[in-house]
Every structure is written in C-alpha cells, then in structure tokens.
Structure 1
Amino acid sequence: MSVKIQGFEKMMRQLEDRFGPGRMQRISDQALKAGAQVYVKELKSQLETFRDTGATVDEVTISETYTDTNGNRTIKIHWKGPKDRFRIIHLNEWGTVKNPNPAGKGAIARSLQSAKAAYRKTIKQAIEREASK
C-alpha cells in the first residue's frame, strides 16, 4: 500500500527557500534525534521482557545522522558494545530452528508498532520548534 502526497516537493522547495538548505538539514537532524530517543525508550521497554544480563538493552545505540544512498537524512538504531549483542538480536527477534519461539520474539516489531504515533508526534514537534526559532 502506498500513499501519494500531492504538493510535497513544492512544499519542500518553499521551506528550503525560506530557511536555506543548511538550516533545513539541521532541523531534520534534530527531529531525527528526538524521534530516535522516543523509539529507543520504547524499544528498551520491550526488550526488558527477556532481560537476562541486560546486555541487549545496554548496547542499544543511536548513530549520528547521515545521508543515505538515496539522499535522505537517516539515523540508525543498532547494537554496539563489548558483549557483541548485535550477533544474536536477529535470533531473539525471529527464533531459530531449535528454538522457534524465544522469549523476546517480535520485541523489535512490537516496539516499532507501539512507538509509531509517539515517534511521528515527536518529529512534528521538533520540526515545529526548530522552524519557529
């Protein structure tokens, strides 16, 4: 399912004309960082359901904003730390042949779904706050 928004490109051009490309990038970066914080909070609460050593929760990391290959500003949420939990996150999320239903199965998907509205609201508020300065 896709949605077509009419006038989006025109609106973006008008905003860039008003604020300039540099300020638009700073505004989007601040909004992405605020939205990422909201999502990470929800993700950590969902990951608490199968907490053992706490390394999975402790190693959740937010990257710096960057421009992806399509030219979009992006921020990445990933696992980085001394216990290398990034290696088993996929197993906890999807299960294995021997353990098809681990305790944390679907925790990331649940956090994405439950944080969607709060994430969008935070992004909108951050953009409005930065644009009004």
Structure 2
Amino acid sequence: MSVTVKGEKELMAALDKKFGKAKMTLLTDQALHSGAEVFVKELKREFEKFKDTGESIREITISKPVWVGNVRAISVHWKGPKDRYRIIHLNEFGTVKNPNPKGKGAIARAMRNAEAAYREAIKKKLKAGI
C-alpha cells in the first residue's frame, strides 16, 4: 500500500506567505530540536542497558539545525573529551572479532522506539507555534 501526498509545496508556500520565511524557519528549528530531545531520551535509555563508564551516554550531542539540500535537518552525534564517536559504530554493528557486542543495534532500536513520540513532539511544537 502506498500513499501519495499532493499539495505539500503549495501548503509550505502558503505558510511561508502567511507567517514569513524567517518565522517558519524558527518554528521548524524549534520543532526539530524538540523531536531530537525525544530521540536522545530514548537513545540514552537504550545505552543504559549496556553502559560501562557511561561516557557514550554523556557525549550524546544535538547539533544546531542546518540546511541539507533544501530541507532543514538536525543531527544527533557524539562529541566530548573521551572521543566516543570513534567506537559507536563498532558498538552498533559489531566487529569481526566481536560480531555481537552488548549494544548491537541500540541506535536502530532507539530510532524505531522513538518514531511515534518524535512525530508527536514535532506536531505539538508546530501546532503551538501556528
């Protein structure tokens, strides 16, 4: 089953015209940040299950919203003094020597578990702003 959405560009143009491009960008940024916080909360919950020192949890960071092509986006990444970003992919996918680490698939599970709450947070923030 597939769904085709029509009129998205027209809707965005109408919102930009009514509220202004700057206000819509600000509102979008706030909604993205709110959604990212929901995802980070779930990600931290997943990482708690296999934490050792907790550095991977403490280094989770939310970026500022940026333009990716013609779409506004925000990213969740690892940044901190312990450089945990270097081993996150090993934890997520495993290695040849350790194909099934304790945290295998934690990021994917967090994304799947937080999807509905993420969408709801985005909707709630956008409705409040409009």
Where on the TM-score scale, by shorter chain, does this alignment land: which range?
over 0.9
Distance 2:129 2:116 in 1: 20
Structure 2 match to 1:21: 21
Show CA shifts across 1:31-74 (max 9, x none): 00100000000000001111000000000000111111x12111
Distance 1:5 1:20 in 2: 23
**Count, aligned residues:** 130
Structure 1 segment 86-125 matched on structure 2, within 5 A: 86-125=85-124
Give the AA of the match of 1:117: A
**Structural RMSD (CA):** 1.2
Give unmatched runs, 5+ long, in structure 2: none
Distance 1:106 1:120 in 2: 21
Structure 2 match to 1:31: 31
Structure 2 match to 1:78: 77
Give the AA of the match of 1:19: F
Q: SS of 2:5's equivalent?
A: coil
Distance 1:91 1:3 in 2: 36
Q: SS of 1:88's equivalent?
A: helix
TM-score (norm 2): 0.97
Residue 72 to residue 2, structure 1, CA distance change in 2 (3 Å): farther
Distance 2:2 2:93 in 1: 26
Structure 1 match to 2:54: 54
Q: SS of 1:78's equivalent?
A: strand
Show CA shifts across 1:17-37 (max 9, x none): 110100010010000010000
Give the AA of the match of 1:31: A
- Which runs of at least 4 in structure 1 moved beyond 6 Å after TM superposition? none
Give unmatched runs, 5+ long, in structure 1: none
Deviation at 1:4, TM superposition (A): 2.8
Structure 1 match to 2:10: 10
TM-score (norm 1): 0.95
